[in-house]
Amino acid sequence: MSIVYDKASGLISLHTRRSTYQMKADELGFLLHVHYGGRLADADDLSGQLCLVDRGLCGNPYECGRDRREYSLDVLPQEYPCFGTGDFRTAALHVRSADGSRAAQLRFAGCRTEKGKYALEGLPALYGDEAEAESLIVTLRDPASALEVELQYGVLEDLDVICRSARIVNRGDGPVVLEKAASFCLDWPFGKFDWLTFHGRHAMERNMTRQGLRHGVQSVGCARGASSHQYNPFSILCAPDATETAGECWGACFVYSGEFLMEAELDQVDQTRLVCSIHPDDFAWTLAPGESFQTPEAILAYSDRGLGGLSRVFHRAIREHICRGPWRDRRRPVLLNDWEATYFDFTGDKLVSIAQKAAELGMELFVMDDGWFGRREDDNGGLGDWYPNEEKLGCTLRELAGRINALGLDFGIWFEPEAVSEDSGLYKTHPDWAVRVPGRDPCLARNQLVLDFSRRDVQDHIIGELSGILAGAPISYVKWDMNRSICDKFTASLPPERQGEFAHRYVLGLYRVLEELTAAFPQVLFEGCSGGGGRFDAGMLYYTPQIWCSDNTDPINRLDIQYGTSFCYPACTMGSHVSAAPNHQTGRTTPLSTRGCVAMAGCFGYELDVTRLSPAEQAEVRGQIACFRQYADLIRLGDHYRLRAPEEGCAVWEFAAPDGSEALVQAVYTRVEANPVPVHIRVRGLRPDSRYRVEPAGPVPAGDGAPDRGWSPLPAVLSGAALERSGLTLPPPRREHQSWQIHIRLCP
């Protein structure tokens, strides 16, 4: 059994293949966190290791009386600590009662188990059937206020993950206001840790930072309306000596696309606490008697096999139990997006001419990006008027899609449904639908406002508009964009005292719109986007199985972006394109072969004017597409190994078949030096006793000044043991930003 409850002792153990999560309801009714780490036996009770010492100025529960009993919530590890009743550390729950008091003290009131993974109404969550998952519901109750919290735990034993969420119910007679409602709290009574977080900015997202925890509270989060370019809702705590291949690591992935806060605290006695919640600075939720509030879910995982082992747990969880629909298990089409080829300067005939060349080169999907609707001639207006500009296109949308289909290509389209321009007909008809504070001029970004997705009428309007377009033309792909942060937060649909609910209700509205559209058009591949990677999170992946990784298509910058993204998210979720050189964002010139190599480590596509390619470049593109098709399943389903970080001068990564039958190693030199030091790597995930042929993968570069690649430094045949224990030495670079792709396959 994955969930074991010993009623006599109060011990609860949650088991996965390699981990155990343990908690205990003690004699005073407090639910203490005991262990999350390596797998234990059912009879192992680690609560005896908790150090009960009389700490100065640490309060004691009233039941202790004059005998302080060396018992204080201020130093005990807890499952769901509350503010205001003796624990002065970072709290999971802040509540304001009708009388203005801000205290709660939750006691254990029972638990139950359920087959299958619990689901969350209106929120994305990891899913699992009765054969894959089991759920535990623990009820905690505050005797003084009748506030009740249901802690929800989903255990997927084979997947090696545990999910957590909380449902908060007002069982009292008066209203209460939730000022902070965390999805989980994790306490470690012992140990030193490094904290890995992922920061960034537009066009440079998810840069990994690793630092040792210091005393006090450290946090990352976002109050921009979306999970943001600046901080990703994923973090790792690990042993200071943890590497890619060894050491203990704990990861937390917040399945939420809105404002969030992750807090790590090292307390006075060197205990560590990690708490994750909707960002409390912009949150206040009123619960009338009988009402409940559901927090978003978090996915937790533990690995004693290093950072790489932890990442592969999350990759499988997201790929198989977050992503849904027909596209979850299908190779994504090789696409051409017209954005960097044309920007706003196009006609229908121009698009068709580009699409015709794309079809000749072997591409499968043509995507018409921004500029096809309303009076949209630049990014300063037109948003909200979702009707085709037939004068610009020279035909109807259905006719244009038909012309593209006749070339043998599927047809895709770009939307930014969450935004509105002041010059649009939608804004002029419904100015109250825009998010803005009454009596104040709004803050503009890209000269656009945000539609109030917290309102049901706005949601219904967008569902209707987009449904009409998707039903009216043969569209097989949608790029869903969102190009600004949300400020001036106010909604006319809520009274003044409930404006703190707006940010979360906006996200709930977005999820409803996405759920309705993806259910109505299951054949359509939806790709998420928010100025590139500004909303790259597991919540969006529940609706859109891939996300445009970044607006930055420079392959050298993309090495860093995709490297950081890979710590949580699998390659099959990362939209990645080959663009022109010099690159439009950085001005850097890189070989076409390197641009292809980097883009193949994701959802492969192109974003350039293919009609301007030379014959040699066209031949190389054909070869790249054939190469991607050959290795697409290996990249999509393979175990991902980070062999060398971009900062080390040569970025190297690998996709290995789960059965060890083959591997694809990809490498890009980020700098060239005279008399270079050899780059040596150890290949992972192979069968030690089998023999493998090592050979170049992909087309030979042509037309970009590439010298003969020369493969003589690499051996032809080696055992799996030799490739892992001794490894391979890569050929040295002969020019800036040279790349290598190496296919390793079982010998016949």
Number of H helices, E strands in the chain: 13, 38
Q: Which residues contact 67 (CB under 8 A, 6 or more apart)?
A: none
Q: Which of 32, 65, 79 is nearest to 51 (CA)?
A: 32
* Distance of alpha carbon 224 from the chain centroid: 17
Residue (of 570, 451, 479, 463) closest to 520 by Cα position: 463
Cα torsion at 509, 514, 520, 522 (round to 10°)?
A: -160
Q: What element of type H or E holds 308?
A: helix 306-321
Give the span between the Cα atoms of 79 and 90, in whole angstroms: 12
DSSP state letter for 70 = T
Q: What are phi and psi of 262, to 5 degrees?
A: -110, 125
Which residues are 533's β-sheet partners? Answer: 530
Secondary structure class of 267 (helix, strand, coil) = coil
Classify residue 617 by its DSSP letter.
Answer: H
Contacts of 538 (CB under 8 A, 6+ apart): 124, 233, 253, 254, 255, 256, 299, 318, 322, 568, 569
Show Cβ contacts of residue 421 under 8 Å, excluding neighbours closer than 6 positions.
380, 381, 382, 383, 384, 427, 447, 448, 449
- Which single residue is written with the structure tokens 């080169």? 361
537 catalytic? Reply is yes
Catalytically annotated residue among 537, 551, 607, 620: 537
Answer yes or no: 648 catalytic: no
From the list 379, 390, 488, 617, the catalytic residue is 617
Distance, in Å, from the CA atom of 706 to the CA atom of 473, rounded to the nearest integer, reads 43
Helix pair angle (397-406, 456-472), 10° resolution? 50
Residue 707 near residue 743, CB atoms below 8 Å:
no
Instruction: Quote the Cα angle for 708-711-717, to 5°.
Output: 160
Contact between 642 and 653 (Cβ < 8 Å): yes
Annotated catalytic residues are 537, 617
